[in-house]
């Protein structure tokens, strides 16, 4: 009797690095992903939508700090926003590998739009209790947790591999450009009109990304890989795959390091604006905008010279600069110095995070992309609330300057350790070649 065909892994020999060719560098080279229509449409819709999201991302911590006066509650925003993503990343990764990514994104973005609208509705007509706000943030986090693996994997569907570094960096750029525009606008709106308008504009901004997804012509032509395995077994298989790829292990380590020690500074701008610099909502918007400005400045440098500087080198010096800039912000003698320090923080953040994302997208085998991206998201996202709560607690105990300076010093120490590490998982493994493993159907 005939048996069902077996699915086996066949690994091709890794490609040897090719000799460098003469490739134009600079701004033109960094923008090469814009040559592709679908990517450009996706990028523009995402920029508009993420700008709206940053209106809410700044407003929720702001109103919570106004209500409670506690940095710990500000840290809880990260927990509410990202805990659902930690729990749902395995399911999101499985969907990204097994389903049409465009359809997944249409569903999740619609759900995020509904949750944003509910946040506005409850704020304008319901109780303004911290727990209620956190629950609504968590609802949006449920859809975001399913969304992110398909979102990041979808970027690789829109451009050829030769333009992947440009696409990943530009994807990070639009997120950070939104981080620049959104908070600046949020500061003005909070000062002039109040939080209700920031929540409403965020809900409306999802129309842009939904329209962009509808206009994309890309067809789902990836080979289907049917499986009877459940989500948990698929995710465990992805973890095993990551463990066998040193470059992916290094990417996860760096992601967690940034999440615990670096990311909380995005919430601490609220605390510094209120308790250290005393600058009000407009000053708060400028602090957050400076993070995005730094990313915009850094993006062409990171992507435009990617053919001359290795990924490992970018992360090595990016971490050192990141840690030093965080210390500088924590010890800033005045508001203007703090703004300048955050510009460097934003540029360093983009350099490190976009480079790590590029390494993952380049190294991973195509049939594992969604689940491996989900692994990275799960570890990275899990580190957000850990870092936020730890640094929030230290801030309430010793003060915000001590908390931020301590985190920056620890990042500097970790960066030096990674630079000197000579084991299997060293920074140079971020430049490992693409895994050519393929799933094929073997005869029984």
The string of pLDDT tens digits covering residues 42-63 is 999 988 888 888 888 878 888 8
pLDDT band at 5 (very low <50, low <70, confident <90, very high): very low
Number of domains in the chain: 1
Phi, psi of 440 (to 5 degrees): -125, 160
Q: How far, CA to CA in Å, does 61 sit from each of 120, 245, 280? A: 15, 38, 13
Cα torsion for 287, 379, 208, 202, to the nearest 10°? -50
Residue-wise DSSP of 104-145: HHHHHHHHHHHHHHHHHHHHHHS---HHHHHHHHHHHHHHHH
Which tokens go with 255? 């992601």
Q: Select the more confidently predicted residue: 235 or 344.
A: 344
Burial class (CB in 10 A: 0-12, 13-18, 19+), 121: middle
The pLDDT of residue 438: 56
What average pLDDT score do residues 136-144 get? 87
Chain mean position to CA 2: 47
Structural domain including 324 reads 36-215+227-433
Do the domain assignments include residue 14?
Answer: no
Do the domain assignments include residue 17?
Answer: no
Do the domain assignments include residue 332?
Answer: yes
Buried b (16+ CB within 10 A) or exposed e, 335-372: beebbbbbbbbbbbbbbbbbbbbbbbbbbbbbbbbbbb
CATH of the domain at 426: 1.20.1250.20
What is the pTM (predicted TM-score) of this model? 0.69
Angle between helices 71-98 and 369-398 (to 10 degrees): 180
Do the domain assignments include residue 222?
Answer: no
What average pLDDT score do residues 150-158 get? 81
Q: Under 8 Å CB-to-CB from 107, ≥6 apart: which residues? A: none
Do the domain assignments include residue 4?
Answer: no
Do the domain assignments include residue 340?
Answer: yes
Do the domain assignments include residue 198?
Answer: yes
CB distance 60 to 176 below 8 Å? no
Closest to 426 in 3D by CA, of 435, 434, 417? 417
Terminal Cα distance for the chain, rounded: 11
Which tokens go with 331? 């010890």
Do the domain assignments include residue 429?
Answer: yes
């Amino acid at each position: 009797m005939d048996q069902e065909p077996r699915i086996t892994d066949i690994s091709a020999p890794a490609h040897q690095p090719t000799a460098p060719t003469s490739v134009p560098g600079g701004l033109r080279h960094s923008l090469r992903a814009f040559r592709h229509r679908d990517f450009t449409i996706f990028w523009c819709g995402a920029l508009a939508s993420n700008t709206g999201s940053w209106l809410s991302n700044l407003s929720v911590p702001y109103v919570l700090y106004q209500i409670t006066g506690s940095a710990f509650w500000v840290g809880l925003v990260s927990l509410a926003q990202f805990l659902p993503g930690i729990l749902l990343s395995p399911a999101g990764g499985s969907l990204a590998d097994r389903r049409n990514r465009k359809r997944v994104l249409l569903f999740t973005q619609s759900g995020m739009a509904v949750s944003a609208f509910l946040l506005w509705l409850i704020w304008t007509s319901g109780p303004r209790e911290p727990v209620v706000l956190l629950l609504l943030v968590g609802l949006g986090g449920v859809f975001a947790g399913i969304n992110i693996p398909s979102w990041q994997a979808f970027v690789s569907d829109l451009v050829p591999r030769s333009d992947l570094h440009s696409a990943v960096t530009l994807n990070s750029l639009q997120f950070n450009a939104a981080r620049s525009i959104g908070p600046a606008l949020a500061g003005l709106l909070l000062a002039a009109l109040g939080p209700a308008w920031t929540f409403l504009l965020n809900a409306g901004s999802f129309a842009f990304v939904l329209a962009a997804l509808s206009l994309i012509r890309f067809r789902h032509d990836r080979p289907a890989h049917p499986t009877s395995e459940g989500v948990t077994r698929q995710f465990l298989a992805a973890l095993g795959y990551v463990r066998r790829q040193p470059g992916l292990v290094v990417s996860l380590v760096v992601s967690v390091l940034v999440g615990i020690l670096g990311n909380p500074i995005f919430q601490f701008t609220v605390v510094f604006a209120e308790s250290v610099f005393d600058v009000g909502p407009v000053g708060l918007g400028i602090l957050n905008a400076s993070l995005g400005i730094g990313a915009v400045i850094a993006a062409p440098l990171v992507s435009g010279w990617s053919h001359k500087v290795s990924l490992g080198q970018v992360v090595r010096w990016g971490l050192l600069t990141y840690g030093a800039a965080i210390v500088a912000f924590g010890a800033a003698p005045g508001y203007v110095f703090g703004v300048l320090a955050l510009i460097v923080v934003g540029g360093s953040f983009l350099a490190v995070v976009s480079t790590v994302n590029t390494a993952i997208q380049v190294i991973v085998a195509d049939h594992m992309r969604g689940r491996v991206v989900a692994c990275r998201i799960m570890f990275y996202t899990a580190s957000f609330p850990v870092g936020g709560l730890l640094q929030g607690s230290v801030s309430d105990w010793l003060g915000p300057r001590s908390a931020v300076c301590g985190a920056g010093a620890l990042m500097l120490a970790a960066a030096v350790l990674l630079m000197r590490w000579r084991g299997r998982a060293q920074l140079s493994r971020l430049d490992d070649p693409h895994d050519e493993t393929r799933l094929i159907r073997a005869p029984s």
